[in-house]
Chains A and B, each alone.
Chain A
Amino acid sequence: MNAILNSLRTMGLIFLHAFRKRATILYPEKKPYIPPRWRGRIVLTRDPDGGERCVACYLCAVACPVDCIALQATEDGQGRRYPEFFRINFSRCIFCGYCEEACPTYAIQLTPDFEMCEYDRRALVYEKEDLLIAGPGKHPGYNFYRVAGLAIAGKDKGEAENEAPPVDVRGLMP
């Protein structure tokens, strides 16, 4: 007898749920809120001056546990390094964010975009032009070359933050 009552009660409760507020949303017509620190599609950002931030240091590539980042470093005529090519194979990427953590220049960042399904796996291989965005992403102010000791076009030796002017090696002053 008891068992029958229990069952009826359960059915009643479930029936009542039909009138509760809905927790699911009608994706894709409606978009859920995704926090900014969500680890989704990876982008390459630019520094505040608009230059490519990535200095092709290979740290993201070596940090990547699935080895899905490949790049080649090169240099412009004036000392600035950048990736000649930069490729992420998103069909392998596990969105762990290690690359972002390893990046010493805030160039590589994960974004709250998870909508990257493709019918063809090959379309998941992103080259630099697919990755590079126009802005600085989550770190608006940082410019690696302003702190680095390397001289590049527009920033000579001694002109980085916290740097003294170059030593005069022939000077006799103590």
Chain B
Amino acid sequence: MVTIHIDNQSYQVEAGANLLQACLSLGLDLPYFCWHPALGAVGACRQCAVKQFKDENDSRGRIVMACLTPAQEGLRISIADPEAHAFRAGVIEFLMENHPHDCPVCDEGGECHLQDMTVMTGHVHRRYRFAKRTFRNQYLGPFLNHEMNRCITCYRCVRFYRDYAGGRDLNAMASHNHVYFGRIEDGVLENEFSGNLAEVCPTGVFTDKTFKAHYTRKWDLQTAPSICVHCGVGCNTLPGERYGTLRRIQNRYHHEVNGYFLCDRGRYGHGFVNSEKRLRQPLLRTEGSETVAPVSPTEALAHLAALCAGPTVIGIGSPRASVEANFALQKLVGPERFFNGMSASDAGLTRLILDILTRRPVRSPSLHDMEQADAVLVLGEDVTNTAPRIALSLRQAVRRAALEIAGARHVPLWHDGAVRDAAQSAKSPLFVATHSATRLDDVAAETWHAAPDDLARLGFAVAHVLNPDAPEVPGLDAETAALAGRIALSLSAAGRPLVVSGTGCGSPAVIRAAANVAMALGRTGQPAELCLVAPECNSFGAALLGGEGIDAALLALERGEAETAIVLENDLYRRADRAAIDRALQAAKHLVVIDHLGHATAAQAELVLPAATFAESSGTLVSSEGRAQRFFKVFAGNGEARESWRWLEEAQRAAGRGNGFDGLDDVIAACAAAHPKLQGIAHAAPSAKFRLLGEKIPRQPHRYSGRTAMLGGINPDWSVAILPLPHTTPHGLQPVADRSPLGRAGEGRGEGVPLIDTSAKGNVPHPNPSPARGRGANERPQINIHEQKPPNDPDTPLAFSMEGYGGAAPAALIPVYWAPSWNSVQALNRFQDEVGGPLRGGDPGVRLIEPGADWIWFSEIPAAFQRRADEWLIVPLYHIFGSEELSPQAPAVAERCPRPYLAMNPADADALGLKAGDQADLRLPEGALRLPVELRGDIAPGMAGLPAGLEGTAGIGLPGWGKIDRETRP
């Protein structure tokens, strides 16, 4: 700690800290653009100027950039100094010379860092009178809008996209005041993290395109802390709602988990919440009828209660439903008849992973921990496509070596430009051993593509080199042995090695091998880090409740051991063989499905109950780090959709066996009591009773607008409020409203002022689209303009209101980042003790999993992969857009999803006489598929890749053996 003097006040700050960061951490308002806590400083914008003085007698001082100045003992600066202030205002004035007059139509408006900084510097009047420079925009794909006129050349975008996220197709182009940030030519931005540009760019150049389609200002969004449901990483998100539809998702900072960034699947995959396929009402199939009919919740519950009273009811839970929903189902059917809803393979792998992480001496790292690793082995997991945010962290881990070199030369680590100069292209070792190429290969020291069994053998071999006690791999070939030696050498030389694996290649052997490597790296009392990626957002939560996978449930139904199945937020057809499911559902007498979207399983149900999505309910998810995190209802939802656990509890009440679950806290308490391993979930966030100064925390910003008019429209269902109105083209005139007083516009009022031009009146038919939009009360009988009481929320300490405690909320409950003078996402600085550090009061969530001490080696080493003469090993290829169930429901994500294909080694394809693009017939135990062939050199001979989880490939158990033929014409 050193003492620095800012405007003659003394402060204690960390020695060598970035002065700008220190000022912001102290709560001082100092404008800046190019510095970013995760990207460091380059001094590109010259906005953070302060005056530095030699000592207390120096009255002249000199202007320095705070973001390039290390804090030293006795440093004396002034932010308020008139010259420094004028300098900063001047910089803004320069930036504004060419800035378009766009704020009203700019999506950044109201949360624009440039607006904030302009106001902060006091620049108000445009003096520059020459023409403004303009740019043409580019089409950048479905995720981002581009409006280059608004650029202030801070370089944050390319520094994030290229330097941080490893993208290649965005760059700074041209020179002097023509510098242009975009692609060489129009086209989709390739990087999986491109959406972060909307938050990284301090202006409206890059904005969220999907948000633009139903744009709302930040001050009008109702928001609540949430958790991403699109993979097992558990990134923290801030979804925003308006008029009953979910409008966007922004990053919610969590120092240990996602930090400042989300992946594009998480940011853009929320469209299913607004989907047309949403179930909004209970549906019941009456005896003997083919179709279902909507029924009231009471009828639906009575029906469910009657079914539950019948013999043997089984419950099929879901790894994408909350812990609470799964627990409520388990409570209803009893633990013996509860199945966790995962595919047979996932259930087994998840159980194995949990066993490793809780019993073996290995620690599941957070993303932040992974970024500190200085040597990484990725074994069998294509993280970019299965747990995308991890890939971004691994890219940062690769930079450890660069930071070490810079540190050794006494370059401050926040001085990004200098660090990159000092370290050049130095990289920490990252080894990627997977069954096909991954997007991390470009920063890997070595990559190796082989069959899952060979990957496992490599892992076992590495473990054996690291620790001779670990079992030796029999019959290891020289090439693999040499590679294992190199990997072992790098890992053992590292101060903080990391092993990453997961369920991605569907092989328990790979996971065991990864566990052996991690154990071999660990020391007593100092377990090594092993990240095992779980397939879904609550795989661990569902698995910790116990129960078998789906195969067991299907068997029970098929054998007639159960009559009724209640399926919770799960489409069985994505998780098992179609024929097996058909057989089981045929055998089942009654099928009840609780879910938010209609799907193949729901289509067969006798009773369908509409479930609230993550945005309309509150609950807990357990990430693959083992962190239990609470997500909160963002809005009350439309129609009859309600939390799954509420349906289940109400059904039990209707049957007279309620559990007394009145609110979420009751479910959590019961769950924690029943499952000691889940005890921690109660502490994931404050309970519903939590109050600050006796008040709840408002979900709506204090400037939330339209409160007395949004319900004044057609009907209390807010979503109906946005019925489209016919629009005027700029050229064609629209009819004028001729409320009667207007007809007398001239009389008695300021004569001669042409207030209202009534010339068009009467010539154009009135475009009244709906009977609700007539004029006068008689034509709008159904309007109710009485404001409704805000919906009650018994489950959380948050309120559906703009009223409540306006001060700082605990980290788990922060609904929006805003502070006086800071309207943009940068307001986050005000919620951290040290900018870039943990949230004030500690980051939310509770780790449920800690290392065990059973130092037992896994010794089930598989034999080396042997290709078969007429069969191929079909391995799953994951796609960030497409392999997950819910995100493709969002139109923008759907645009990025691939169509099913078959990836083959060129030599294999050649042998079959197949060329790229030819149709091939793939015959699997589950059935046959006709697919276009893609030639991929990274797929080993004897193997073929099939995209996982797409429409048409979901439900196929991979890896598995299959036959491939040239298209046989029928």
Contact = CB atoms under 8 A, between A and B. Distances in A.
A36 B750 CA distance: 5
Interface in B718-746: 721-725, 727-737, 739, 741-742, 744
B104 A31 contact: no
Given A84-B722, A135-B754, A69 B135 contact: no
A160 to B, nearest CB: 8
Q: Which of B175, B709, B712, B753 has most chain A Cβ within 10 Å?
A: B709
Nearest to B784: A122
A148 B731 contact: no
B674 interface: no
A101 interface: no
B949 to A, nearest CB: 33
Interface stretch (A3-11, A15-23, A51-59): A51-59
Contact of A72 (B131, B150, B243, B735): B243
B174 A89 contact: no
A104 B705 contact: no
A104 B103 contact: yes
Contacts of B757: 133-136
Contacts of A104: 103-104
A157 B134 contact: yes
A26 B756 CA distance: 26
Contacts of B736: 132-134
Contact of A118 (B101, B742, B777): B777
Nearest to A107: B104
Main secondary structure of the interface of B (DSSP, over half): loop
Interface in A135-163: 135-138, 140, 144-145, 147-154, 157-158, 160, 162-163
Given A34-B749, A57-B109, A137-B756, A157 B712 contact: no
Contact of A85 (B102, B721, B728, B744): B721
Contacts of A108: none
Interface string B151-183: 000000000000000000000011110101010
Interface string B88-115: 0000000000001111110001100000
Which of the listed residues A71, A85, A127 has the most CB atoms from chain B within 10 Å of its own CB?
A127
A54 B293 CA distance: 44
Interface string A47-81: 00111100111110110101111111111100011
B735 A129 contact: yes
Contacts of B102: 148-150
B266 to A, nearest CB: 25
A35 interface: yes
Given A129-B735, A148-B100, A69 B706 contact: yes
B131 A125 contact: no
Given A52-B734, A122-B783, A125-B713, A163 B722 contact: no
B220 interface: yes
A40 to B, nearest CB: 9
A166 interface: yes
A163 B219 CA distance: 32
Contacts of B56: none
A12 interface: no
Contact of A33 (B704, B749, B754, B780): B749
Nearest to A57: B104
B773 A70 contact: no
Contacts of A72: 214, 216, 243, 721-722
Given A116-B741, A157-B136, A31 B748 contact: yes
A46 B759 CA distance: 13
Interface in B200-235: 212, 214-217, 219-220
Given A76-B727, A166-B135, A62 B219 contact: yes
Given A51-B729, A68-B708, A104-B104, A122 B749 contact: no
Interface in A28-50: 30-36, 41, 43, 46, 49-50
B709 A166 contact: no
B838 to A, nearest CB: 33
Interface string B647-668: 0000000000000000000000
A120 B777 contact: yes
Nearest to A25: B748
B869 interface: no
A170 B775 CA distance: 56
B705 A169 contact: no
A173 to B, nearest CB: 9
B182 to A, nearest CB: 8
A123 B134 contact: no
Give the one of B104, B173, B243, B753 with max A CB within 10 A.
B104
Contacts of B760: 134
Contacts of A116: 739, 741
A153 B137 CA distance: 15
Contact of A67 (B706, B744, B761): B706
A111 B131 contact: no
A56 B109 CA distance: 12
A62 B221 CA distance: 12
Interface in B776-834: 776-777, 780, 783-785
A169 B217 contact: no
B761 to A, nearest CB: 7
A88 B709 contact: yes
A123 B178 contact: no
Central interface residue in A128, A138, A153, by most chain B CB within 10 Å: A128
A118 B780 CA distance: 13
Contacts of A76: 727, 729
A149 B100 contact: yes
Given A33-B748, A52-B727, A85-B721, 7 more contacts: A49-B730, A57-B109, A62-B110, A72-B214, A72-B216, A166-B136, A167-B134
25 contacts: A35-B750, A36-B749, A50-B733, A52-B730, A58-B705, A67-B704, A67-B708, A68-B706, A69-B705, A70-B705, A74-B215, A82-B728, A89-B785, A118-B776, A119-B777, A127-B773, A129-B735, A133-B737, A135-B757, A144-B104, A150-B147, A160-B100, A163-B134, A166-B134, A171-B178
Interface of B: 100-105, 109-110, 129-137, 147, 149-150, 173-176, 178, 180, 182, 212, 214-217, 219-220, 243, 703-710, 712-713, 721-725, 727-737, 739, 741-742, 744, 747-750, 753-761, 766-768, 773, 775-777, 780, 783-785
Interface of A: 30-36, 41, 43, 46, 49-52, 55-59, 61-62, 64, 66-76, 80-85, 87-89, 91-92, 104-105, 111-113, 115-116, 118-125, 127-138, 140, 144-145, 147-154, 157-158, 160, 162-167, 169-171, 174
